[in-house]
Amino acid sequence: MMPLAQGATVCVNHPRREAIGICVRCRTRVCGECTTKVDGINYCVSCLATLAGPKRAKDVRAQSRSPIVASIWFGLGAGLLTLLSWAMIELGAIW
Ligand SMILES: [Zn+2]
Ligand SMILES: [Zn+2]
């Protein structure tokens, strides 16, 4: 159990302000003004600056590309499987 109700948790940037969230990246306690939610996850100012860097742009590009590749492989696999089963049925009918 964590004593959150004691008022011991304060913002790292504002010592007199109560922290309402914890940065998921560096576990820094931040107030509502210092935290930014990205996809429903709290980030502090410094971590947000790191995320906004070139690494995030690379991640976004990789994320947008991977589903297409996955769908192509899935389509190929499904098509091959259909063709194989069809060929087996046809051959079975002939034999
Ligand atoms: Zn952080
Ligand atoms: Zn603050």
Q: How far apart are CA 57 and CA 74, in angstroms?
A: 26
Report the percentage of the chain scoring pLDDT > 90: 43
| Rg (alpha carbons) of the chain, rounded to whole number | 26
* Amino acid at the residue 86: W
Residue ranges per domain, the chain? 1-52, 54-95
Per this entry, what is the length of the chain?
A: 95
Tens-place pLDDT, residues 48-91: 888 887 655 555 565 666 788 888 888 999 999 999 999 888 88
| Residues 45 and 27: beta-carbon distance below 8 Å | no
Q: What is the Å distance from ligand 1's center to 27 Cα?
A: 6
End-to-end Cα distance, the chain? 71
pTM: 0.46
Q: What is the pLDDT of residue 70?
A: 85
| Ligand lying closest to the C-alpha of residue 22 | 1
Q: What is the Å distance from ligand 1's center to 6 Cα?
A: 23
Q: What is the pLDDT of residue 2?
A: 46
